[in-house]
Amino acid sequence: MILFIFEGKNDEPRLYKTLKEIFHFELKEEEIIHYFCNNIFSLYDTLKSYSEDVLDDSVDLVNVLKEDAFMHEKSHTELDKIKYSSEISEIFLFFDYDIRKQDEKNKLTIEEQNAKIVELFNYFENGSLDSERNGIKLYINYPMIESYRFFKKELPDVDFRNYTFDLLSEKSFKHIVNEESFYQNLKYLCFDIKKSGEVKTSVDKERIKKIKQNWLHLKELNIKKAHFICTDNYSIPENKDTINQQTIFDKQIEKYIKPNNEVAILNAFPLFWFEYIDENKLDESNN
């Protein structure tokens, strides 16, 4: 089984399921989707409550999530399908960076918040499910999932390379996206989702064609920008590991966060596509 853990239960499944549908991609194994319905720091605190010191492989992510879902009565979970953690071959987590400035509600500095994310990266890197499997991968949206539509003009918006978000801004990123984005909803990129959780595929061939083209633009722009963040080279990297999530995080801190209290806007789904789906031989030319 392959486990997907999404921070939210709205945008994330629409993005992921549309991507699968429009490019006819099928996983190698049965997928399980779980909506955590809280932010990355809540995930950290939940895992940390099962650890005496630093997070390590003594903390079983799957069992922690199952207990958390039971305790908080998360009825929208598929985790009940999992009897044993050993049934899971890969885990993919998608969460927002969601760093907040220090104030009366948030007592932590930006540095202290980043330290928690560092610990999560270390935990997922060292707490692999099996040495012969790919293990656990954390994908981060900078600053939030809404980065999928932060384009000030119709795609392809080449200026996306330079778009950043001020972490000290009085306005939320969502507010700024709604004010400045060319796209005001997900329709340019996604199908609707039925109550059953299945994709409500459009019969409009022109719309399907346009959505597919927008995904290809989204993919190219985010991959090139990730490469630029990591190496100052705005191009598609030859080696996918050049733009791994840990390196992106480290370079965001070094180049944007520490000097300017800002992050380069970046969406995780195109990077997952580049790293995982392409690796599993998704042939776009045949679709």
* 9/285 Cα distance (integer angstroms): 31
Band the pLDDT of 131: cuts 50, 70, 90.
very low
Which residues, at least 6 apart from 101, have a Cβ–Cβ distance to it below 8 Å? 110, 167, 168
Give pLDDT, residue 150: 97
Task: Quickly tell me which residue has 């099928």 as its tokens.
Answer: 26
Of 247, 274, 280, nearest in space to 89 by CA = 280
pLDDT tens for residues 167-178? 999 999 999 999
Is residue 127's pLDDT more than 80?
no
> Can you name the residues that pair with 266 across neighbouring β-strands?
142
Band the pLDDT of 282: cuts 50, 70, 90.
very low
Give pLDDT, residue 6: 96
Rounded to an integer, what is the distance from CA 202 to the centroid of its chain?
25
Give pLDDT, residue 149: 95
Give pLDDT, residue 286: 40
* 112/107 Cα distance (integer angstroms): 9
Is residue 74's pLDDT more than 80?
no
Band the pLDDT of 198: cuts 50, 70, 90.
confident
Band the pLDDT of 277: cuts 50, 70, 90.
confident
pLDDT tens for residues 213-262? 999 999 999 999 999 999 999 999 999 999 999 999 999 999 999 999 99
Is residue 283's pLDDT more than 50?
no
Which residues, at least 6 apart from 103, have a Cβ–Cβ distance to it below 8 Å? none
3-state secondary structure of 172: coil
Task: State phi, psi for 275 to the nearest 5 degrees.
Answer: -80, -45
3-state secondary structure of 14: helix
By percentage, how much of the chain surpasses pLDDT 70?
Answer: 92
User: Which DSSP letter does residue 78 get?
Assistant: -
More confident residue, 185 or 278: 185
More confident residue, 13 or 197: 13
Give pLDDT, residue 202: 74
pLDDT tens for residues 23-65? 988 888 999 999 999 999 999 999 999 988 878 888 999 999 9
Q: Are strands 164-166 and 262-264 parallel, antiparallel or unpaired?
A: antiparallel
Is residue 285's pLDDT more than 50?
no
Which has the minimum average pLDDT: 70-74, 97-101, 274-278, 282-286?
282-286
Q: What is the mean pLDDT of the chain?
A: 90
Claim: this prediction has a pTM higher than 0.95: no
